[in-house]
Amino acid sequence: MNCPECDASMNIPEDASVGEIVSCPDCGADFEIAKKDGSNVELKQAESVGEDWGE
Q: Does 42 bind another protein (CB under 8 A)?
A: no
Among 11, 14, 38, 52, the residue binding another protein under the rule CB under 8 A is 52
The single-letter DSSP state of residue 49 is P
**Residues in 2-31 that interact with another protein by CB under 8 A:** 17-21
Alpha carbon distance 50, 19 (integer Å):
17
Residues in contact with another protein, counted by CB under 8 A, come to a total of 14
Q: What's the closest the beta carbon of residue 38 comes to another protein, in angstroms?
A: 18
Give the chain's radius of gyration (CA, Å): 12
Q: Does 38 bind another protein (CB under 8 A)?
A: no
**Sequence-ordered list of residues with C-beta below 8 angstroms from that of 36, at least 6 positions apart, any chain:** 16, 17, 18, 42
